[in-house]
Structure 1
Amino acid sequence: MFVRTAGSGDLEAIRSLLVETWHDTYDAIYGPARVTEITDEWHSIAALTARLDKPHSEFLVADDGEAISGMAFAAAIDDGKTVMLRQLYVRPAFQGRGVGGMLLDEVESCFPDANTVRLEVEEANEKAIAFYLAQGFAHTGSTANCGSGQSGIPALIYERPIVWAD
């Protein structure tokens, strides 16, 4: 398994991964119809394409040479001092195998001026919260609008410092 920058040829596979992962995670929370509505908007090919060239960001995939098993998208905020992890998803069949940790490590390495990683997570997503706590994140707040705009989806905010080796 290796982590690399996503390209336009990966977008269909990334969308498939996101749809599968979202239904697996969120159907019990929001219901299948709402999850389909969200994935159709947030994870459309057009939305994913816009992320490819977004300034001050990284769009990564975990690839084993045959299939994409995970993806991450992050952007620098606060004059580059904070990395906002917008997405980190691993196919259900690959969860618990270190893929998420690999993606997280690579995201951090892409932002050498940053000293903090921040993310938002649905409070009912216990698996994700357990993963982030195990990765050294701490709960620092909450938002009524996860993602961008006025999504109306509440989320918890977690952060961890980036420790650079000398």
Structure 2
Amino acid sequence: MEIIPVKEEEIPVLAKLAAEIWREHYTPLLGPAQVAYMVDKFQSEAAIRRQLEQEHYRYYFFRCEGENAGFTGIQPTDGGQKLYLSKLYVARRFRGRGAARQGLEFLMDLCRREGYRAIWLTVNKHNSGSVAAYERLGMTRVRSQVAGIGGGFVMDDYVYEIEVPAENPAANPAENPAAGPA
């Protein structure tokens, strides 16, 4: 899998992929009205452009076998101390191939290079598959929150966080015997 920055001309492709993933995955959790509202507010071309231009977001595609398998969207927070993992979505046909794990490893490396000390995210409390995946990836639930998002809708989420180690333990066999010889 490749992880590559989304180019400005690819924003329509990103928005289309986001809408497909959201409708497929979140409609059973949130219902069609809230999904439509959230796609328009957070995943539309206009929303993505605003996030990139005004909110310091960066987006990356996950490419697998030449196709866009998913994406991530990140934003610095806490005065540049933490990285908000706003979006980490993988299309259904590419799930189970390690895209989320590879995406998190990519972000951990990015954090080490850029000096962030932690990554945090929110996840719907009823999104049990994603909650389990984040916990398998080593993230820790730090709190619950309910946030109004307009349109009469709320996000009822858990907040997860993972600290960024100073160096990649897998790269140091002395600290990670499972990594084998260098």
Instruction: Place the TM-score, normalised by the shorter chain, in its bin.
Output: 0.7 to 0.9
Evaluate the alpha carbon distance shift between residue 146 and residue 81 of structure 1 in structure 2; reply closer, same or farther with a 3 A threshold. farther
Structure 1 residues 14 and 84, CA, compared in 2 at 3 Å: closer, same or farther? same
Verify the 8 A CA contact 2:124 2:157 in the aligned structure 1: yes
Task: Give % identity.
Answer: 22
Q: What code does the residue aligned with 1:80 have?
A: G
TM-score normalised by structure 2 residue count: 0.81
Q: Which structure's CA Rg is the greater one?
A: 2
Number of equivalent positions: 165
- Pick the aligned partner of 2:161 from 155, 159, 162: 159
Question: Displacement, 1:119?
Answer: 0.5
Q: How does 1:86-105 map to 2 (within 5 A)?
A: 86-105=86-105
Alpha-carbon distance between aligned partners in 2 of 1:34 and 1:57, rounded to the nearest angstrom: 23
Classify 1:113/1:146 alpha carbon distance in 2 versus 1 (closer, same or farther; 3 Å).
farther
Alignment partner, residue 15 of structure 2: 15
Q: What secondary structure is seen at the aligned counterpart in 1 of 2:80? A: coil
Instruction: Say if 1:73 and 1:86, in contact at 8 Å, map to a contact too.
Output: yes
Amino acid at match of 1:152: V
Cα distance change, pair 105–57 in 1 and its aligned pair in 2 (3 A): farther
Show CA shifts across 1:105-158 (max 9, x none). 22232233111111000000011101100100011001111779x962111101
Give ranges in structure 1 of 5+ residues lacking alignment.
Answer: none
Aligned residue in 1 for 2:144: 142
Structure 1 position 76, deviation (Å): 1.4
Distance 1:50 1:159 in 2: 25
Per-residue deviation, residues 40-85 of structure 1 (Å, max 9, x unmatched): 2221111111233456543111123632111111111122211111
Taking only aligned residues, the RMSD between alpha carbons, in angstroms, comes to 2.2
- Greater helix proportion: 2
Q: Which of 1 and 2 has higher RCO (CA within 8 Å, sep 6+)? A: 1
Deviates more, 1:128-137 or 1:72-81: 72-81
- Residues 142 and 44 of structure 1, relative CA distance in 2, 3 Å threshold: same
- For structure 2, the 5+ residue unaligned runs are 169-182
